[in-house]
């Protein structure tokens, strides 16, 4: 199986030993407390689950700036996005060497991790702009990722962490949430040597289904890992539980047995386009995927990124040899009325737009809200029914 990024073995930061975990929870009662942002809590979950291997905690200013500028830490580790614990008000932890980190996404704000404080530093406005512009390629506060980043504050709390739980993800998505360690174990258990990973924050329609099948065949993979984001999205995106149900129905009915793993991870969407695509590749390597599908406008939002920027970044900005995972570059995929099957548009140069079944996201949402199923060439009927049930509840 493919090696993790930056090391021979995964080093997840979740404290597995129940006794040690109980001792840390008792210690947390007497420590200064810091209520995390949702983004920092997501980072803790990803560190705990081994997805952010080989990082040992939150980055300090020097690493944050170096990663933003060059996609490398000060020690030379390739890393595409700063992994931060930002706060607007550090008064409660001033002078503390260890702090209890509180989860903002669970009622009662329980302790999610204990952090050893290496440094407490403030980013200047110019440094905030530098990180924002390099990571998101825009300073526009209307960009949802930029808005979230700017809302977290300018004080960096850096240092290693010990993770005590996986927030709400393990409880609310018990059938889907998996750590990188668990996915590696299941790949081995299934006897797969190679696996192609598919990222999604949306339900999967026919084009996504066929894209996964195309990629598996093209790279000769043993299986497909559908790996869905379970954290916070922008307003209007479909909730994780609805996506999960739709994807499970599609896999149950339209994929051969033992060819698909349905999994999810606990992280908030950044909408950082190309940089986030590289981060996605890093943690898919950590979970054991040998290949990763990147399509049009991967991890994008609005018109902030070019259609294939998330692919070209691997050619133009990711140095050779930094990642072992291989990228499967996908074009827009749609049903061809001429060929009577789903194809990538680049593979049908004789087609015009009228030769494809194409529906905008807005049009699909309108149809579902009105109880009208999209054409079977666009969406499997059983999947459409799950989505119609959801949308009709929203408009009721």
**From CA 46, how far away is CA 38, in angstroms rounded?**
12
- The verdict on whether 202 is a catalytic residue reads yes
3: Cβ contacts below 8 Å, ≥ 6 apart: 285, 324
Nearest to 199 by CA among 336, 82, 310: 310
**From CA 295, how far away is CA 177, in angstroms rounded?**
24
373: Cβ contacts below 8 Å, ≥ 6 apart: 367, 379, 381, 384, 385, 388
Quick check: 106 and 120 in contact, CB under 8 A? Answer: no
> Beta-carbon neighbour count of residue 390 at 10 Å?
19
DSSP code, position 86: E
**From CA 1, how far away is CA 191, in angstroms rounded?**
10
Q: If you search the block for the tokens 């459409």, which residue do you land on?
A: 384
Return the structure tokens found at 304.
């902030």
Catalytic residue of the set 98, 154, 201, 248:
201
122: Cβ contacts below 8 Å, ≥ 6 apart: 154, 155, 156
Q: Which helix (H) or strand (E) holds 157?
A: strand 155-163
CA 377 vs CA 45, 255, 349: distances in Å:
38, 17, 20
- The verdict on whether 201 is a catalytic residue reads yes
Catalytic residue of the set 202, 275, 284, 365:
202
What residues pair up with 86 in beta bridges, in sequence order? 156
Q: Which helix (H) or strand (E) holds 283?
A: helix 273-286
**From CA 159, how far away is CA 40, in angstroms rounded?**
13
What are the two backbone dihedrals, phi and then psi, of residue 282, each rounded to the nearest 5 degrees?
A: -60, -50
The catalytic residues are 201-202
């Amino acid at each position: 199986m493919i090696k993790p990024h930056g090391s021979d073995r995964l080093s997840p930061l979740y404290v597995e030993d129940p006794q040690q975990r109980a001792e840390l929870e008792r210690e947390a009662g007497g420590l200064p407390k810091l209520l995390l942002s949702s983004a920092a809590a997501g980072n803790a979950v990803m560190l705990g689950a081994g997805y952010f291997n080989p990082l040992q905690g939150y980055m300090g200013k020097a690493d944050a700036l170096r990663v933003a500028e060059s996609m490398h830490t000060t020690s030379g580790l390739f890393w595409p996005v700063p992994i931060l614990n930002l706060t607007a008000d550090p008064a409660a932890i001033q002078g503390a060497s260890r702090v209890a980190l509180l989860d903002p996404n669970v009622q009662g704000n329980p302790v999610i991790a204990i952090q050893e404080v290496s440094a407490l530093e403030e980013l200047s406005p110019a440094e905030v702009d530098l990180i924002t512009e390099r990571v998101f390629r825009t300073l526009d506060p209307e960009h949802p990722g930029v808005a979230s980043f700017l809302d977290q504050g300018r004080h960096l709390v850096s240092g290693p962490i010990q993770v005590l739980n996986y927030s709400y993800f393990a409880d609310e998505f018990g059938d889907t949430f998996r750590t990188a360690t668990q996915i590696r174990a299941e790949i081995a258990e299934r006897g797969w040597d190679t696996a192609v990973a598919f990222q999604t924050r949306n339900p999967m329609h026919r084009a996504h289904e066929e894209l996964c099948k195309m990629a598996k065949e093209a790279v000769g993979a043993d299986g497909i890992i559908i790996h869905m984001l379970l954290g916070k999205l922008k307003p209007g995106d479909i909730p994780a539980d609805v996506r999960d149900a739709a994807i499970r129905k599609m896999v149950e009915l339209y994929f051969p047995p033992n060819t698909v793993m349905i999994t999810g991870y606990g992280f908030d969407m950044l909408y950082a386009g190309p940089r986030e695509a590289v981060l996605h590749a890093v943690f898919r390597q950590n979970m054991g995927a040998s290949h990763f599908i990147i399509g049009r406008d991967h991890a994008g939002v609005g018109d902030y990124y070019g259609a294939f920027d998330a692919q070209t970044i691997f050619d133009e900005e990711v140095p050779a040899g930094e990642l072992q995972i291989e990228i499967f570059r996908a074009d827009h995929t749609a049903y061809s009325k001429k060929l009577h099957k789903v194809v990538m548009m680049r593979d049908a140069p004789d087609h015009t737009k009228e030769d494809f079944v194409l529906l905008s996201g807005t049009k699909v949402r309108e149809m579902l809200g009105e109880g009208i199923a999209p054409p079977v060439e666009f969406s499997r009927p059983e999947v459409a029914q799950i989505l119609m049930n959801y949308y009709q509840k929203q408009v009721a």
